[in-house]
Amino acid sequence: MASITLKDVVKRYGSGPKANQVIHGVNAEIADGEFIVIVGPSGCGKSTLLRMVAGLEEISGGTISIGGRVVNDIEPSERDIAMVFQNYALYPHMSVFDNMAYGLKIAKLPQGEIKARVDKAAKILELGPYLLRKPRELSGGQRQRVAMGRAIVRQPQVFLFDEPLSNLDAKLRAQTRLEIQKLHTELGVTSLFVTHDQVEAMTLAQRMIVMNAGRMEQIGTPDEVYHRPATTFVASFIGSPPMNLITGQADGARFIAAGQTLALPAAAPRAGEMILGLRPEHAELSRNGAAGWPLKVEALEMLGAERLVYGRVGETLFTVRLDATLAPPKVGELVTLSTTPEHLHWFDAATTKRV
């Protein structure tokens, strides 16, 4: 096992003034045995960053170290990493056993050790009954477990996962997430996991890196990222439904947005143009003319244990999450919102960074 250090990592395609820079100076310290999830929307650079750690993409600037050794110019095969891809990449003509053992045979390990490693990985992943089957005889979830088994038998210092659950249906994704969690608990190998799915990120990560347009917006535990987002991008990307954001002028305990004055439960941290954030579950609905922010209800959505109420505060679309046991408002009804000071989030309107 090994730590990973990313220092001012840059990736650009082309050279000169027309170069297209896609990774902008990423810095991160990943501890030995830590499970880190890199999350962000499509095109944000998360897979490119992972491929640079793997050695499948050249680094344009900065350094990447694995186990204290700078690996910028070291071949992928010499980095002691194992990668699990989105598309499984199994050999269709080989059995499950041979797929898992292939890399070890190429490395010319003794037959006894190869069998011992494959049997151990098969036991961990519950693949024992399928070792003689071909990939076409397996379900999608089983194929992905074979791909993970092939990585496990290598006994690498680092596991790299590139959106490995994207091809699975929702039920299988949830089941495989649990298997990956158990796998990391048992093996304790340093892991980087790339996904665009925030549920995967929140449930799997010990810490997560949120990427946006090639930049690292925030690194922290899922709890830190959710409850103290560093930027409005993180606030709106992490959380479903996302955080409500209103741009306006703060003036003490007043917030003026689109000509409407909202009374605050506590004074804003400073005066001037700011962005006010509030999670949907931290807004309370009241009726019968109670004090608060006016919300005109536009739509309701029933989601089993909870209900989402959509409306507008002034001109800003606003979402409130309610327990499904509470009586919902009616579409077209004017209700009021209230919250407490600790649930308000403040961001600089110019930089979008947390105040």
Mean pLDDT in residue range 337-341: 92
Answer CATH for 4-237 from 3.40.718.10, 3.40.50.300, 1.10.10.10, 2.60.40.10: 3.40.50.300
Looking at per-residue pLDDT, the higher value among 291 and 42 belongs to 42
Give the best-scoring range by mean pLDDT among 81-85, 171-175, 191-195.
191-195
- DSSP letter for 2, please: -
Question: Per-residue pLDDT tens for 53-76?
Answer: 999 999 999 999 999 999 999 999
Mean pLDDT score of the chain: 92
Is the model's pLDDT at 259 over the cut of 80? Answer: no
Query: How much of the chain, in percent, has pLDDT values that exceed 70?
Result: 99
- The ranges of the chain annotated as CATH 3.40.50.300 are 4-237
Question: Per-residue pLDDT tens for 81-134?
Answer: 999 888 888 999 999 999 999 989 998 999 999 999 999 999 888 899 999 999
Place of tokens 């790299």: 160
Is the model's pLDDT at 1 over the cut of 70? Answer: no
Question: What pTM was computed for the model?
Answer: 0.90
- The ranges of the chain annotated as CATH 2.40.50.140 are 244-348
Q: Dihedral through CA 304, CA 307, CA 308, CA 313, nearest 10?
A: 180
Beta strands in 188-333 (DSSP E): 190-195, 207-212, 215-220, 244-251, 254-257, 260-263, 272-278, 284-286, 293-302, 306-313, 316-323
Looking at per-residue pLDDT, the higher value among 348 and 88 belongs to 348
* 3-state SS class at 314: coil
Token duo for residue 333: 């009804």
d(CA 21, CA 45): 10
Strand-pair partners of 4? 30, 66
Mean pLDDT in residue range 306-328: 92
d(CA 62, CA 49): 12
Is the model's pLDDT at 170 over the cut of 90? Answer: no
Write down the CATH superfamily of domain 244-348: Nucleic acid-binding proteins (2.40.50.140)
Helix (H), strand (E) counts: the chain: 8, 20
Q: What is the CA radius of gyration of the chain?
A: 24
